[in-house]
Amino acid sequence: MYYNWKETTNTEELKIVCNLIKNGEIVIFPTETVYGIGANAFDKKAVGKIFMAKGRPSDNPLIVHIADKRMIAEIAKEITEVEQKLIDHFMPGPFTLILKKTDKIPNIVSAGLETVAIRMPDNVIARGIITFSGVPIAAPSANISGKPSGTNLNDIRKELEGKVSAVVDGGETEIGLESTVVKVIDEVPCILRPGKVTLEEIKKVIGQADFGNGIFTPVDEDEEIETPGVKHKHYAPNVAAKLIYSENEDDLLFEINQEIKACRGDVVVLGFDEHKEKIVVAEHRFINLGSKHNLEEIAKNIFSALRKSDELGGKLILIEGVKKEGLGVAIMNRLLRSCSYNYVEL
């Protein structure tokens, strides 16, 4: 079933969607980050349907979405002062915190770990579904495992619609990148997956923060992980991709144009608005990520651009990178993974 809630949430349809969640079915719904594919987090059979629909590896934990802070007590325990400060400051929002889990959370949700990732989305539709379902919702991004996350329903309906009981269309997502995932280690917040909430913002609240392993380098396939989206192949288009970055614009453009020449123009370029006239590729093979000065615009466009580049085909996808600071950390993290770390920094 497809429900269009772009303009307003239909109360009767909301009841239907929530009853599906209560009865062990899975549903696609929007958040402010990306679309999710969710099920009752307390129902291990329902959660298992998510893994089946996505083709998701079982050692990849899910994020549990809540509607309000009162729900935390059901799913997490032994919350420290630092963890509580993070909850109070960043929830609701594009922020996920890893906490010790209660016995109510099935092992399938946490990939057998003693921790659980929790998030309170800042999206009216998402929180409405959670509230009226009466249960926290376990939900990874709505996409086939390994592919770019879905930021609008047009990108994901074909690959997932027949595998779920309902699809809720809330329009294009606001942020376009998955949430920042943090674990507090020895009283220090550690970012395991970067997102809209930056290291600098966390430091302002706690006074200190750090990055975990695997932000810009591959994670060992044998390594046990506590957060989704850091270990297995992810965000990858079908065509081979290469990420190029330089603070010197002339060097950057020269390198991109040399790559285009080597492939005889049979490439797709994901580039910035300011460079579209300077990159020697057919107009329809240039996908505009937005202004190089607007990281939020770039972040919002990444996944749709990667999907569009696949439709165009070719020998190679070339992607312009950004400086690894602020929101640029999250952008480069996703782009590096989409390119399987095929990266040149000049």
Confidence band, pLDDT 50/70/90 cuts, at residue 208: very high
Instruction: Tell me if 155 sits within 8 A of 173, measured CB to CB.
Output: no
Per-residue pLDDT, 230: 59
Taking each helix axis from N to C terminus, what angle separates 81-90 and 199-206, rounded to the nearest 10 degrees? 120
Per-residue pLDDT, 159: 84
Residue-wise pLDDT tens digits, 146-205: 888 889 998 888 888 789 999 999 999 999 999 999 999 999 999 999 999 999 999 999
Span 324-345, mean pLDDT? 95
Exposure pattern of 212-224 as b/e (b: 16+ CB <10 Å)? bebbeeebeeeee
Total length of the chain: 346
CA dihedral 158, 337, 293, 246 (to 10 degrees): -140
What pTM was estimated for this model as a whole?
Answer: 0.94
Instruction: Tell me if 22 sits within 8 A of 134, measured CB to CB.
Output: yes
Domains defined along the chain, listed by start:
2-211 (3.90.870.10), 241-345 (3.40.50.11030)
Residue-wise pLDDT tens digits, 72-82: 999 999 999 99
Strands (E), the chain: 2-4, 27-29, 36-40, 63-65, 76-77, 95-101, 115-119, 137-138, 166-169, 180-185, 188-193, 210-211, 241-245, 267-272, 286-290, 316-320, 343-345
Per-residue pLDDT, 221: 62
Per-residue pLDDT, 218: 80
Residue-wise pLDDT tens digits, 224-255: 666 666 555 567 788 899 999 999 999 999 99
Per-residue pLDDT, 237: 82
Q: Nearest Cα to 301, choosing from 212, 173, 197, 190?
A: 173
HEC-encoded secondary structure of 112-179: CCCEEEEECCCCHHHHHHHHHHCCCEECCECCCCCCCCCCCHHHHHHHHHHHCCEEEECCCCCCCCCC
Residue-wise pLDDT tens digits, 125-142: 999 999 999 999 999 999
Confidence band, pLDDT 50/70/90 cuts, at residue 222: low
Span 315-325, mean pLDDT? 96
- How buried is residue 110: exposed, middle or buried, by Cβ count under 10 Å (0-12/13-18/19+)? buried
Per-residue pLDDT, 57: 84
More reliable by pLDDT, 212 or 222: 212
Rounded CA gap, 333 and 315, in Å?
23
Quote the mean pLDDT of the chain: 93
Confidence band, pLDDT 50/70/90 cuts, at residue 214: confident
Per-residue pLDDT, 331: 97
Per-residue pLDDT, 144: 87
* CA distances for 33 relative to 120, 233, 281, 285, 293, angstroms: 11, 20, 31, 27, 21
Residue 206 has pLDDT above 90, yes or no: yes
Residue-wise pLDDT tens digits, 102-126: 999 999 999 999 999 999 999 999 9
Instruction: Assign 52 to helix, strand or coil.
Output: helix
| H or E, element range at 11 | helix 11-22
Residue 18 has pLDDT above 70, yes or no: yes
Per-residue pLDDT, 213: 87
Output the six-digit token pair for 154.
Answer: 């047009």
